[in-house]
Structure 1
Amino acid sequence: MKTNKLLNAIGLAALLFLNISCEDILKEEPKSLATADRYYTTPKGIEDGLSAAYSHLRSFYGQEQGFFLTVTGTDIFTNGFGGIANSPDINNYSPNLLGTNAMITTVWDSFYKGINQSNTIIGRAPSVTGLNEQQKARIIGEARFLRALYYFHLVQQFGDVHFTLEETIGVQTTANRTPLAEIYAKGIVPDLAYAVANLPLTPGKYGQATKPAAEALLARVQLTIGNWAQAETLAKSVIDNPAFKLVTPYAALWNINNDVNSEIIWAVQFTGDPLTNGPGNSGHLYFIFDYTFNPAMVRNIDDGRPYQRFLPTNHLIKLFDPAIDSRWNGSFKTVWRANRTATINGFTVNPGDTSIKIVRYPVPDNVKRSKPYWLIDFKDNWIGSVTAFQEVGTNNRRNHPALLKFLDPLRPSVNETAGRRDFPVIRLAEMYLVAAEAAMKQGKNEVAANYINVIRNRAAIPGKEQQMRVSAADITLDFILEERARELAGEMHRWYDLKRTGKLLELVKKYNRDAAPNIKEMHLVRPIPQTQIDRVTNPGEFYQNQGY
């Protein structure tokens, strides 16, 4: 059970309380009106404002738009049935991927709201009375951590973007296109260095940014901009921190009752309280197949409400060896149980019986028809265009292994979309992968293999640890990307991983047949939202990304 959670859904409007009665309003004689200028001068006000700076992360992490921009359009996920029906263009890099895309606009707007709120706290905290210098430095450190994270996403997604470190007050009609290298040098890196120097080792409230979280995010940043030694040093600092350890077994990471665990370095929080949960973590909707087509299945809370947005590619399915690696069964649901009586292949199936089973190898159709359940096999036909009988990808991309990492069996009803599960933004396994990649880039393949073997040992089926070990000779960039796919599938890293390593176009063309015909160099950045282009009065200086 989560305790002392930082309820970061607090928005600024919710903080500006009117201490007046209805009768006073009618008489137009308000006794007091809280404003930002007054409210943020108090310790409680500045802390509440800081909480509001966290809240905009909930518009990205665990949300459809965030998943579309980080999970699909890669080598390991493509559009499922719901993705094609609702938003095919991001994955497909189609000519319709334009600045009018609503998901891209939502992400852009949310991040800049988060940046301005962070700038507000950073600028106002030094003047707050009732706080000592250490408390002010901690508050500013959290806000600078958040500002760095928002800008880090923006420059990766859009390239050169508007950059400011000052609070925007009133209407601003001009914008700048600051080179991303300058944003890293003057914003992201110094913000995170300040956070590392001033944040505590442990949070005062669960969910607050800490020194290890800042080190981990800075390690990710340094890896992205090619500072390999710094990336390894920072990642190793987190790895060596005794407060964190890998959760064993791997599947236990995704037990919703184990949401707060020793592997989570920092998470965006959600809660079971609808008053403070905002949009909720809706990740449970998008990665599951529509099991309700099976005659013995009706929609239920445990198996989820299937939106079917994202479909694992053949490449992702083939990356796992379930005989030695627990991460296949720890990441994907492949067996469903009946919850009503029905007939399948002439057999009576009762609640609790197997109703669907997915296997990763070919099975003759006559064998599949002889089973008292749907036996769905994998023949390595392109998963997006299979029409054969009960094969992975059939039923218009509805039938496929279901990513279980975000399932939310604690939702109050079968149709509830607002999940309560926290979203793990940074976990310890990623730091081993960051350190390994950084070591490899420095020519230290033996060191890289040692980092990789720690997470592969955790993932090993008991008794298969030796088969899971790798040597220095195994360490290549492609292998590290494959290992990141096995460990982090669906966790909103993949598009960034492929872009960072220069592999986006190559691997998408090789493994994502929906996107392969369209993807080109221009797609290394997203289109600037048209609403932003239309609003500025200096369009000659603030222009659309090339090709859009």
Structure 2
Amino acid sequence: MKKITLFITAIILSAFFFTSCVNDLNVEPIDPNVNTLNNVFKDQSAYKKALAKLYASYALSGQTGGGGGNPDIAGIDENFGNYLRQYWGLQELPTDEAIIAWDDATIKDFHWHTWSPNDVFISALYSRIFYTISICNEFIRNADKAIDTTSGAFQTELKTYKAEARFLRALSYWHAIDMFGNVPFVTEEDLPGAFFPRRITRTELFEYIENELKEIENELMPARQNEYARADRGAAWFLLAKLYLNAKVYTGTERYTDALTYLNKVISAGYSLDNSYEHLFTADNNSSPEIIFPITFDGQNTQQYGGMTFIVHASNGGGMPLNGIDGGWGGIRTIKNFVAKFNLKESDFDSDPQYQGPDKRAMFFFDKSTWKWDINNVGTFTEGIGVTKFKNISSNGGPAPNAHATFVSTDFPMFRLADAYLMYAEAVLRGGSGGDIGTAVSYINALRQRAYGNDSGNITASDLTLDFILDERGRELYWEGHRRTDLVRFGQFTSGPYVWQWKGKVKEGIQTPSFRDLYPIPINDLNANPNLVQNPGY
């Protein structure tokens, strides 16, 4: 949490949405009479406040705080309409890492793989993605005007702000390409007005994101030199590596060598593994040397029931330790298939409901007197295994900074060095040039030595297979918003041989149709914009 300070003022850029992606999603500007040039960008300091709004769009979904009253978008409850909450849900709930007990609308359809084009949660994330893209476009448009009419230190600063806005736009377009494929496309060149945004193909969008990130590389602050939680070159390199690692999924062409080029830049930029895995998920994780790009939260200043407040509260209940919150909501937990990746079984928890085994990344809760290992009723929270990974306390066990018993101060680590190590190993195994197996093994063993506290979990080159990498990504990165993308890349999300409990709405799990590797274009947007085409299968 903490920096970048989130100035949540009356700076609302949402009046400048492109038409077809407003009406179709019931996304409405909060104040259609706002004139951003005169009212928002009225002095130099306003540009940093407006930049903060761009970053805050991932953490907050309104202007008032506390969960309601002044949302960015209409058509969904402000708390459900939170960017991170919906991104996390669509990345985790359809996988082996998470399952939800609630009956909110269609929420159970995600683990069952039965969602449809009119799903409210899919529409919510889609609209959040394009809301962020829209306000980034408006910021860039106004920054361009100011850059042309100013000079000196402020001009230099404004160019950096603009590069950060372009990074955030690229980040949201990456979410779009990964989850929806061929989508509507607008930039700052498309002035606000009544028109139908053109449809960009997945390959074209890949090339656009790639070019954007390369163009802004030298305009961003050097890696680790910007304020905490603001994008720098390290974040741009990391996002490029993510793009290239998934290039075969997005475009049909492998780009593993390019992934290694940028992973080497990230790894050599001076980030280091945190000595404590647990510290990465506590309320003082802003001090971790491992986090490359987070979404920030603060118990006093980012008060909303989405984001990390959702993840921490919804994963708590059934006698689990509260870890700095005032009560659990009994919603999300994991399943036996995933816990088995840590070689844990039900009997291991006989005497300790928080038994970890030798791999201390296993942060689970199972009290066999009140919980059931097997899930017969998806709607019963205490059937399954609790997850205690994210906590609203400091790493020393004390209160969170700016502690609040309801609203969480823990940051969400979107990009961190451990992921770069895992990506490096995968890119090498898949044939990329610019890396080697020996280095890949050393990176994996660095993660496992932290997890085990010694070298007892170390692997050798013969152990380093793609199946191992997929499982190790799960063990290291679970609940961090990567799993759906990973399973798709490995061919295991839908029609592959790997099934898990309640996949396909069958208790023991079944394969599902491969068209579900992509989410559908929301039906309202499809009906509103004749340039769009529904994804196959929907």
Kept after mapping to 2: 8 A contact 1:9/1:277: no
Deviation at 1:276, TM superposition (A): 6.8
Residue pair 2:94, 2:484 contacting (<8 A) in 1 also: yes
Deviations 1:171-198 (A, max 9, x none): 434132211110111x211121123222
1:446 maps to 438
Instruction: Name the structure 2 match of 1:40.
Output: 41
1:142 deviation in Å?
A: 0.3
Check 1:482–1:105 CA distance in 2 against 1; reply closer, same or farther (3 A cut).
same
**Structure 2 vs 1, CA of residues 406 and 62 (structure 1 numbering), >3 Å: closer, same or farther?**
farther
The answer as to whether partners of 2:177 and 2:202 remain within 8 angstroms in 1 is yes
1:497, distance to aligned residue in structure 2 (A): 0.7
Q: Distance in 2 between matches of 1:484 and 1:73?
A: 17
Quote how far apart the aligned CAs of 1:305 are.
3.4
Give 1:408 shift.
2.2
1:318 to 340, 345, 348: 340
Identity of aligned residues (%): 24
2-structure distance, mates of 1:70, 1:140: 29
Aligned residues between the structures: 462
* TM-aligned CA deviation for residue 507 of structure 1: 5.4
Residue in structure 2 matched with residue 456 of structure 1 by the alignment: 448
Per-residue deviation, 1:143:
1.0
Residue of 477, 486, 489 corresponding to 1:497:
486
Question: Radius of gyration: which is bigger?
Answer: 1
2:160 counterpart of 1:144: no
For structure 2, which runs of at least 5 residues remain unmatched after alignment?
16-32, 62-80, 248-253, 344-355, 394-399
- Mapped contact 1:254–1:404 kept (Cα < 8 A): no
d(CA) in 2 for partners of 1:278 and 1:324? 35
The answer on whether the counterparts of 1:283 and 1:407 sit within 8 Å (CA) in structure 2 is no
- Which residue pairs with 2:319 in the alignment? 291
Looking at structure 1, the residues matched to 141 and 280 of structure 2 have their Cα atoms a distance apart, in angstroms, of: 38
Distance in 2, matches of 1:11 and 1:502, equals 45
Contact 1:267 1:423 in 2 (8 A): yes
Q: Does the aligned pair in 1 maintain the 2:6–2:301 contact within 8 Å?
A: no
CA-to-aligned-CA distance 1:268-315 (integer Å, 9 cap, x gap) = 1111224776855221123234328xxxxxx96646633333331222
Deviation at 1:508, TM superposition (A): 7.6
Q: Does 1:70 align with 2:85?
A: no
Matches within 5 A, 1:84-233: 87-94=107-114, 97-128=115-146, 129-132=149-152, 133-166=155-188, 168-185=190-207, 187-201=208-222, 202-225=224-247, 226-233=254-261
Change in 2 beyond 3 A, CA 1:11/1:155:
farther
The answer on 1:405 being equivalent to 2:385 is no
For residues 249 and 421 of structure 1, the distance between their equivalents in structure 2, rounded to whole angstroms, comes to: 15
**8 A Cα contact 1:436 1:449, kept in partner:** yes
Aligned to 2:293: 266
Matches within 5 A, 1:358-377: 374=369
Helix, strand or coil: the match of 1:267?
strand
In 2: Cα distance, 1:227 partner to 1:179 partner: 18
Q: Structure 2: which amino acid aligns with 1:72?
A: L
Runs (5+) with no aligned partner, structure 1:
17-32, 293-298, 335-356, 359-373, 387-392
Q: Deviations over 1:334-354 (max 9, x none)?
A: 5xxxxxxxxxxxxxxxxxxxx
Q: Verify the 8 A CA contact 2:499 2:511 in the aligned structure 1.
A: no
SS in 2 for 1:265: strand
Secondary structure of the residue aligned to 1:246 is coil
Aligned to 2:361: 327
- The offset of 1:240, in angstroms, is 1.9
RMSD: 3.1
- The CA distance in 2 between the partners of 1:278 and 1:54, in whole Å, is 18
Return 280-289 or 260-269, whichever deviates more: 280-289
Shift of 1:400: 3.9
Question: Aligned to 2:424, which of 418, 435, 441?
Answer: 435
What is the distance in 2 between the residues matched to 1:507 and 1:61? 31
CA distance in 2, matches of 1:300, 1:489: 20
The Cα of 1:332 is off from its aligned counterpart by: 2.5
Q: Deviations over 1:18-63 (max 9, x none)?
A: xxxxxxxxxxxxxxx9721234374323333222222221258884
8 Å Cα contact 1:7/1:276 also seen in 2: no
Change (3 A) 1:43 1:547: same
Change in Cα spacing, 1:135 to 1:45, as seen in structure 2 (3 Å) is same
Deviation at 1:161, TM superposition (A): 0.5
- Residue 80 of structure 1 corresponds to 100
Distance 1:109 1:522, change over 3 A: same
Alignment partner, residue 543 of structure 1: 533
Q: Is the 8 A contact 1:62 1:283 kept in 2?
A: no
Return closer, same or farther for 1:316/1:9 CA change in 2, 3 Å cut-off.
farther
Q: Distance in 2 between matches of 1:224 and 1:36?
A: 37
Task: Write the deviation string for residues 410-439 of structure 1: whole angstroms up to 9, x where unpaired.
Answer: 59676x3x4232111111111101111111
Contact 1:6 1:205 in 2 (8 A): no
User: What is aligned with 1:389?
Assistant: none
Change (3 A) 1:229 1:263: same
Letter in 1 for 2:445: N
Q: Separation in 2 of the partners of 1:216 and 1:407?
A: 26
Q: Deviations over 1:454-478 (max 9, x none)?
A: 211211234xx1x211111111111
Q: Summarize deviations over 1:225-271 as a string: whole Å, max 9, x none.
A: 131122122122222222x2111222222232334311111111111
For residue 494 of structure 2, give the secondary structure of its aligned residue in structure 1. helix
Which stretch has the larger CA shift, 491-500 or 273-282? 273-282
Q: Normalization by structure 2: what TM-score?
A: 0.77
Specify the SS of the correspondent of 1:198: coil
Superposed, 1:45-56 pairs within 5 Å as 45-56=46-57
Q: CA deviation at 1:220?
A: 1.1
Q: CA deviation at 1:68?
A: 1.8
Verify the 8 A CA contact 2:449 2:458 in the aligned structure 1: yes
Cα distance, 1:304–1:69 mapped onto 2, change above 3 Å: farther
Task: Assess, with a 3 A threshold, how the Cα gap between structure 1 residues 83 and 305 changes in structure 2: closer, same or farther.
Answer: farther
Return the letter of the residue paired with 2:528: R
Change (3 A) 1:278 1:402: closer
Structure 2 CA distance, aligned partners of 1:203 and 1:142? 13
Cα distance in 1 for partners of 2:113, 2:485 equals: 16
